[in-house]
Amino acid sequence: MSKTVIIIGGGVVGLCTAYYLQKEGCNVTVIDKSTMDAGASYVNAGYLTPSHIIPMAAPGMISTGLRYMFNSSSPFYMKPRLDLDFLKWAWNFKKSSTHKKVAKAIPVIKEINVLSRELFMDIKKSGDLGIFHLERKGLLMLYQTNKMHDHEMEVAEKAKFLGLEVKELGQPELSKIEPDIAINAKGAIHYECDAHSTPSEFMARMKDYLITSGVKILKEQEVLDIDLNRGKQCQVKTTKATYFSDEVVLAAGSWSGNFGKKLKLNLSLQAGKGYRINVEEKTRIKMPAILMEAKMAVTPMKGYTRFAGTMEFTGINHEIRKERIEAIAKGAENYYEGLKISQDDKNAAQCGLRPVTPDGLPYIGKSKKYNNLTIATGHAMMGWSLGPITGKLVSELVCNNQMSMDISSFNPERKF
């Protein structure tokens, strides 16, 4: 007998979950309070990143945040505020930022990212979504200083040990791989294992496919209450109606913590705001890259080049800080000779909120308190990269299928 499932959240994780659940014959409804055309799933860098093996909660990150605390244009900004949830999260973040915990997380992050990259490729091969932009050119880590080179080489050696494809490029090799624009960098580490995409295109195609496949997508309906009836029938009340299901999946991104409170669950999350600038004029940039000193991403997408970056902890809001947009534009112009980002492009910048856990690992799993609730959130900067695998894992949990990987590290009720 097929299950009826309500997914709260229509971002990449929610839609990918709907994709795999409907493949299993489930009756699926996705509910989102937005118009589902903006936010973190639309403004991210579009990376599929097996190379990003270091969790955000790494040694030195808290001291970096403290150093940048009063500089609102810095790449990593924590606004000082007396908020109990934030203070608890920050304390757990500090406790998680040890060499021992990072070393334990690295192989898990690598495994889940590789699995997700292959699922992205499988979706493309299936033809379900038609033709959409997805390329595996790898990712350049561009550095201007020896300090950044040495830092990234440490990561590269770990990546090589785990079997990921990595090369070091000097200036001559860099000129060959990116021949049409001069780059102000000493060289690059090329993670050949990575890929990139155009998020807005993928999201639009996925929504069309899901609707055609019978998935109900309910936009502009804010969820007011969730009643899981002690593990029995679920009841989800929105601003427009009340819906019933066998199971609920919580994939509401940065808002998941608020739902957790309603259900008396301790989902420690903070919203990490990121920004993007799209440049539609030809930039001659062919390769996706991380500009290491500027701590920002560059992605050639379908129809434009995207410049994205920053991690800003200022609570749940969509306020655009102009100084942060300027920092991204200046960072990009400093690396690519002749590049000039117009004021119009900067004025059209958008932001999105990424849900960040204290240890940088996502929450994926069943709640012990409610056997009809599955949690899928907290992916931080890897949300786009991990969308398909998260959806696949959730479908396996809901349908009691064999799991694609061990998910104990992602336990939503883990201790920090």
- pLDDT score for 232: 77
**In angstroms, rounded to a whole number, what is the distance separating the alpha carbons of residues 36 and 32?**
7
In the three-class reduction of DSSP (H, G, I as helix; E, B as strand; rest coil), residue 85 is classed as helix
- pLDDT score for 60: 77
Query: What does pLDDT average to in each consecutive run of 10 residues of the chain (416 residues)?
Result: 93 98 98 96 97 88 66 75 88 92 95 98 98 97 97 95 96 96 97 98 98 98 92 91 97 96 93 96 96 96 96 92 94 96 97 96 95 96 97 97 98 95
**In angstroms, rounded to a whole number, what is the distance separating the alpha carbons of residues 375 and 224?**
18
**In angstroms, rounded to a whole number, what is the distance separating the alpha carbons of residues 75 and 293?**
10
Beta strands 187-191 and 27-31, pairing class = unpaired
Helices (DSSP H) in 286-412: which residue ranges? 322-335, 343-347, 387-398
pTM of the model: 0.96
Structure tokens given for 318: 């969509």
- pLDDT score for 388: 98
**In angstroms, rounded to a whole number, what is the distance separating the alpha carbons of residues 264 and 388?**
28
- pLDDT score for 76: 78
DSSP state string for 334-365: HHBTT----HHHHHT-EEEEEEE-TTS--EEE
Residue 203 contacts by C-beta under 8 Å, 6 or more apart in sequence? 12, 15, 36, 41, 42
Architecture label for domain 4-410: 3-Layer(bba) Sandwich (3.50)
Do the beta carbons of residue 153 and residue 167 sit within 8 Å?
A: no
Beta strands 234-238 and 223-227, pairing class = antiparallel
Do the beta carbons of residue 177 and residue 195 sit within 8 Å?
A: no
- pLDDT score for 395: 98
Do the beta carbons of residue 121 and residue 133 sit within 8 Å?
A: no
- pLDDT score for 1: 60
**DSSP helix, strand, coil percent of the chain (3-state; round to 5):** 35, 25, 40
Tell me the domain boundaries of the chain: 4-410
- pLDDT score for 65: 65
